[in-house]
Chain A
Amino acid sequence: MIRVMSLPPLATVQDLGRHGHWFEGLGSAGAMDPVSHRIANMLLGNQACAATLEIPLTPAQFRFDTRQAFAIAGAVCGANLAGRSLPRIFAGLAKAGDTLELGPIRLGARLYLALPGGIDVPLVLGSRSTQLREAFGGYEGRVLAPGDLLNPITRSDPALPPSGISLDQPEFKLPAGGIIHLRALPSTEHDSFDAASLKAFWTEPYLVTRLNDRQGHRLDGAALTRSSTGELRSHGIVPGIVQVPGGGLPIIQLADSATMGGYPKIAAIIEPDLWRMGQARPGDRVRFHKVGLAEAAKAADDHQAAFAKAGQALADAFEQQEIWA
Chain B
Amino acid sequence: MIGSRAVLFQAECPFDLENQQRFWAMADAAAAWHGVREAVPAMTSLTLLLDSVPDDLDRLAGRLTELWQTGLRKTVEGRLLEIDIRYGGKAGPHLADVAEMTGFSIDEVIRLQSAPEYTVYAVGSHAGYCYLGGLDPRLETPRRKVPLTRLPGGSLSLAGLQAGVSASAGPSGWNTIGRADVRFFDPFRTPASLLKPGDRIRFRPVEVAA
Q: Which residues of B contact A187 (CB under 8 A)?
A: 1-2
Q: Is B52 a contact partner of A300 (Cβ separation < 8 A)?
A: yes
Total interface residues in chain B, CB < 8 Å: 53
Q: Kindly list 14 other residue pairs between chains A and B, CB separation below 8 angstroms, not including A26-B192, A245-B173.
A: A24-B185, A25-B128, A25-B185, A188-B10, A231-B159, A258-B125, A260-B42, A260-B122, A260-B131, A270-B4, A271-B4, A272-B4, A296-B53, A300-B52
Q: Is A322 an interface residue (CB 8 A)?
A: no
Q: Which residues of B contact A241 (CB under 8 A)?
A: 2-3
Q: Which residues of B contact A268 (CB under 8 A)?
A: 1-4, 6
Q: Is A78 an interface residue (CB 8 A)?
A: no
Q: Which of B37, B145, B160, B169 contacts A247 (CB 8 A)?
A: B145
Q: Is A235 a contact partner of B127 (Cβ separation < 8 A)?
A: no
The answer for the CA separation of A131 and B52 in the assembled complex, in Å, is 25
Chain A residues packing against B (C-beta within 8 Å): 19-27, 124-125, 131, 133-137, 185-188, 215, 231, 233-241, 245-247, 258-263, 265, 268, 270-272, 293-294, 296-297, 299-300
B205 vs chain A, min Cβ distance (A): 25
Q: Is B125 a contact partner of A25 (Cβ separation < 8 A)?
A: yes
Q: Is B145 a contact partner of A134 (Cβ separation < 8 A)?
A: no
Count A/B pairs, Cβ under 8 Å: 159
B42 vs chain A, min Cβ distance (A): 5
Q: A231-B143, A234-B43, A300-B52 are in contact. Are A24 and B127 (CB under 8 A)?
A: yes
B166 vs chain A, min Cβ distance (A): 10
Q: Is B114 an interface residue (CB 8 A)?
A: no
Q: A26-B192, A271-B3 are in contact. Are A293 and B53 (CB under 8 A)?
A: yes
Q: Is A262 a contact partner of B143 (Cβ separation < 8 A)?
A: yes
Q: Which residues of A contact B111 (CB under 8 A)?
A: none
B122 vs chain A, min Cβ distance (A): 7
Q: Is B185 a contact partner of A188 (Cβ separation < 8 A)?
A: no
Those of B169-188 within 8 Å (CB) of chain A = 169-171, 173, 185, 187-188
Q: Is A258 a contact partner of B6 (Cβ separation < 8 A)?
A: no
Q: Is B8 a contact partner of A134 (Cβ separation < 8 A)?
A: no
A238 vs chain B, min Cβ distance (A): 4
Q: A25-B185, A259-B40, A297-B53 are in contact. Are A234 and B125 (CB under 8 A)?
A: yes
Q: Is B5 an interface residue (CB 8 A)?
A: yes
Chain B residues packing against A (C-beta within 8 Å): 1-6, 8, 10, 15, 37-38, 40, 42-47, 49, 52-55, 57, 122-129, 131, 142-143, 145-147, 159-160, 162, 167-171, 173, 185, 187-188, 191-193
B159 vs chain A, min Cβ distance (A): 7
The answer for the CA separation of A187 and B57 in the assembled complex, in Å, is 13
Q: Which of B43, B54, B191 contacts A235 (CB 8 A)?
A: B43
The answer for the CA separation of A263 and B143 in the assembled complex, in Å, is 10
What residue of chain B has the Cβ atom nearest to residue A236's Cβ? B47
Q: Is B187 a contact partner of A125 (Cβ separation < 8 A)?
A: yes
Q: Which residues of B contact A20 (CB under 8 A)?
A: 37-38
What residue of chain A has the Cβ atom nearest to residue B164's Cβ? A234
A59 vs chain B, min Cβ distance (A): 27
A10 vs chain B, min Cβ distance (A): 16
What residue of chain A has the Cβ atom nearest to residue B48's Cβ? A236
Q: Is A236 a contact partner of B125 (Cβ separation < 8 A)?
A: no
Q: Is A235 a contact partner of B168 (Cβ separation < 8 A)?
A: no
What residue of chain A has the Cβ atom nearest to residue B38's Cβ? A22
Q: A25-B123, A125-B187, A260-B122 are in contact. Are A233 and B162 (CB under 8 A)?
A: yes
B195 vs chain A, min Cβ distance (A): 10
Top 8 nearest A-B pairs by Cβ distance?
A: A236-B47, A260-B124, A24-B193, A233-B43, A238-B3, A297-B53, A26-B127, A259-B124
What residue of chain B has the Cβ atom nearest to residue A21's Cβ? B192
Q: Is B6 a contact partner of A24 (Cβ separation < 8 A)?
A: no
Q: Is A293 a contact partner of B42 (Cβ separation < 8 A)?
A: no
The answer for the CA separation of A131 and B191 in the assembled complex, in Å, is 17
The answer for the CA separation of A109 and B52 in the assembled complex, in Å, is 29
Q: A25-B193, A133-B169, A233-B162 are in contact. Are A239 and B185 (CB under 8 A)?
A: no
A40 vs chain B, min Cβ distance (A): 24
Q: Is B142 a contact partner of A233 (Cβ separation < 8 A)?
A: no
Q: Which residues of B contact A137 (CB under 8 A)?
A: 187
The answer for the CA separation of A67 and B192 in the assembled complex, in Å, is 40
B201 vs chain A, min Cβ distance (A): 15
Q: Which residues of A contact B42 (CB under 8 A)?
A: 233-236, 260
The answer for the CA separation of A124 and B124 in the assembled complex, in Å, is 19
Q: Is A293 a contact partner of B1 (Cβ separation < 8 A)?
A: yes
Q: Is A262 a contact partner of B3 (Cβ separation < 8 A)?
A: no
The answer for the CA separation of A137 and B186 in the assembled complex, in Å, is 12
Q: Is B168 a contact partner of A134 (Cβ separation < 8 A)?
A: yes
Q: Is A25 a contact partner of B127 (Cβ separation < 8 A)?
A: yes
Q: Which of A235, A258, A260, A296 contacts B4 (CB 8 A)?
A: A296
Q: Which residues of B contact A235 (CB under 8 A)?
A: 2, 8, 10, 42-43, 45, 47
Q: Is B4 a contact partner of A124 (Cβ separation < 8 A)?
A: no
